[in-house]
């Protein structure tokens, strides 16, 4: 039976509805990890370090899609909750068209300046060469990557999270298949890894366009639309927290790489890259839940159903806390076999990575609540609070931690920086959630 945004959500119904976005985000993170596996094991440690050095910049560009996807889906979901389906479709179409145009400009800019960006990150010699090859190919595929990120959210708003999962699986299979062919069989090295990723992104970004452009059985369809700058600004402001979060992650990852290059060289960057690959899968569960739950919150907020808002907020907090505990335990006890997948050929690199991941994994205890809290306020169309949570947690607290803790604790300080940032981030989330109870009457 199809679950609708207007339904009352029990734990079972809520988990069934959010499971496709969760699996979708896990699949998305997995096919990024496959790149790392093939590059690390078939191309070499230097190329693996190059991928992880340039990747934060590429993810920063992709954050435009997260911003428009989360902020735009909240705006569209509210209109659906108000019963204004034509307006919702017009907003949806306009946001897709304007973001596509902007993403093309970003791709051109990134392609031209890839050498300068790579050099600014500290790359030299072979590392610089590999950064330029990988970066230019993925800057060129930037528009479809941004579209892929947008449609991940709008599939859920359209009450078709199952299609989001199917498209993500298709994109992931495409990427993994071409990773094997281009890297392991045809030995195309880092260029093959980039091309495989670009082909996967093309599937994830283009297939949804064909689905929404024709008559379909979802709530949304692409049609004629002219720019409405006020609505675009509202969507961007509302989704700014997600963009701030992703841009902050990119900036912080760059800072991590600078510190690790200084203290441990290429091995340090490679170790952090491995931790990030495993972290992507764990975080994907939190982000997938937030993506799946947000349109439901927006719908009931638009419909004025405060009882269901209370129900959703309470159940979500319980689920995020339980999931955080489970994931922390998994990370602590299973880190060695996960690390060996990427660095089994190098005992020193494996040891460094395992030690770092055991410390880093403590952040999962708090991370889920923080990610959900930011997404919750985005769904309530309060982009200011959502952005404040994301800015403080992912940029201010992490930047301070990554700059100060290594001075006190050396390498351990680098791995503990995320924990030191998530703890005050949790305090901020709790304060805003307590403040919002009276304003939005969800508790």
DSSP 377-440: HHHTT-HHHHHHHHIIIIIIHHHHHHHHHHHHHTHHHHHHHHHHHHHHHHHHHHHHHHHHHHHH
Nearest to residue 51, comparing CAs of 26, 34, 28? 34
Q: Give the residue carrying structure tokens 């900036």.
A: 251
- The pLDDT of residue 195 is 95
**Helices and strands of the chain, counted as H and E runs:** 16, 0
The contacts of residue 139 (CB under 8 Å, 6+ apart) are: 58, 61, 107, 110, 111, 114
Question: Which pTM value belongs to this model?
Answer: 0.77
Task: Summarize pLDDT for 285-301 with one digit per residue, the tens.
Answer: 999 999 899 999 999 99
CA gap 257, 266 in Å, rounded: 9
Those residues with Cβ within 8 angstroms of residue 285's Cβ, 6 or more apart along the chain or in another chain: 22, 25, 26, 323, 327, 368
> Got the DSSP string for 44-101?
-HHHHHHHHHHHHHHHHHHHHHHHHHHHHHHHHHHHHHTT-HHHHHHHHHHHHHHHHH
Phi, psi of 265 (to 5 degrees): 70, -155
Cβ distance 65 to 146 under 8 Å?
yes
Rg for the chain, CA atoms, rounded: 21
Cα distance between residue 142 and residue 78, in whole Å: 29
CA-nearest of 35, 262, 228, 4 to 130 is 35
* Residue 164 to residue 179: CA distance in whole angstroms: 22
The C-alpha atoms of residue 19 and residue 414 are separated, in whole angstroms, by 33
Quick one: pLDDT at residue 177?
A: 94
Q: For residue 217, give the DSSP letter.
A: S
Per-residue confidence (pLDDT) for residue 383, from 0 to 100: 83
Residue 241 pLDDT: 67
Residue 26 neighbours by CB distance under 10 Å: 20
Crossing angle of helices 383-390/240-302, nearest 10°?
A: 140
DSSP annotation of 123 = -
Distances (CA, A) of 178 to 171, 222, 363: 11, 31, 34
Residues of the chain with pLDDT under 70: 1, 31-32, 241-242, 244, 443
Please give the Cα distance from 303 to 379 (Å, whole number): 13
Helix (H) or strand (E) holding 8: none
Give the 3-state DSSP-derived string for 269-323, with helices as H, strands as E and coil as C.
HHHHHHHHHHHHHHHHHHHHHHHHHHHHHHHHHHCCCHHHHHHHHHHHHHHHHHH
Question: Do the beta carbons of residue 131 and residue 56 sit within 8 Å?
Answer: no
In the block, which residue shows the tokens 């806390």?
321
Tell me the C-alpha distance between 295 and 376, whole Å.
Answer: 10
CB 390 within 8 A of CB 374: yes
């Amino acid at each position: 039976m199809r679950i609708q945004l207007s339904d009352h959500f029990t734990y079972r119904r809520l988990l069934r509805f959010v499971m496709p976005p969760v699996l979708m985000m896990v699949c998305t993170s997995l096919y990024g990890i496959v790149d790392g596996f093939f590059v690390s094991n078939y191309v070499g440690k230097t190329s693996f370090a190059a991928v992880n050095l340039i990747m934060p910049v590429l993810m920063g560009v992709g954050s435009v899609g997260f911003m428009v996807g989360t902020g735009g889906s909240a705006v569209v979901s509210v209109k659906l909750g108000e019963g204004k389906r034509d307006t919702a479709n017009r907003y949806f179409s306009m946001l897709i068209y304007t973001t596509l145009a902007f993403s093309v400009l970003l791709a051109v800019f990134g392609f031209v300046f890839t050498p300068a960006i790579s050099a600014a990150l500290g790359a030299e010699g072979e590392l610089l060469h590999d950064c330029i090859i990988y970066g230019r190919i993925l800057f060129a595929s930037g528009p479809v990557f941004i579209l892929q990120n947008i449609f991940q959210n709008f599939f859920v708003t359209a009450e078709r999270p199952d299609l989001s999962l199917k498209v993500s699986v298709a994109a992931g299979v495409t990427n993994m298949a071409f990773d094997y062919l281009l890297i392991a069989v045809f030995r195309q090295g880092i260029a093959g890894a980039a091309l495989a990723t670009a082909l996967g992104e093309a599937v994830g970004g283009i297939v949804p366009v064909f689905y929404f452009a024709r008559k379909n059985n979802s709530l949304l369809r692409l049609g004629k639309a002219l720019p409405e700058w006020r609505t675009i600004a509202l969507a961007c402001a509302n989704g700014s927290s997600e963009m701030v979060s992703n841009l902050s992650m990119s900036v912080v990852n760059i800072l991590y790489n600078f510190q690790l290059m200084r203290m441990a060289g290429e091995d340090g960057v490679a170790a952090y890259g491995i931790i990030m690959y495993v972290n992507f899968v764990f975080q994907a569960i939190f982000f997938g839940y937030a993506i799946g739950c947000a349109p439901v919150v927006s719908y009931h907020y638009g419909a004025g159903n405060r009882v269901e808002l209370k129900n959703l907020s309470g159940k979500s907090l319980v689920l995020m806390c339980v999931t955080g505990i489970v994931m922390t335990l998994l990370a602590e006890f299973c880190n060695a076999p996960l690390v060996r997948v990427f660095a089994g050929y190098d005992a020193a690199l494996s040891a460094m990575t395992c030690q770092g991941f055991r410390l880093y994994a403590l952040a999962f205890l708090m991370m889920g609540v923080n990610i959900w809290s930011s997404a919750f306020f985005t769904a309530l169309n309060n982009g200011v609070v959502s952005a404040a949570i994301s800015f403080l947690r992912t940029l201010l607290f992490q930047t301070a931690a990554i700059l100060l803790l290594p001075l006190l604790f050396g390498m351990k300080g680098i791995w503990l920086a995320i924990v030191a940032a998530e703890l005050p981030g949790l305090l901020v989330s709790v304060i805003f959630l307590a403040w919002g109870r009276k304003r939005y009457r969800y508790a």
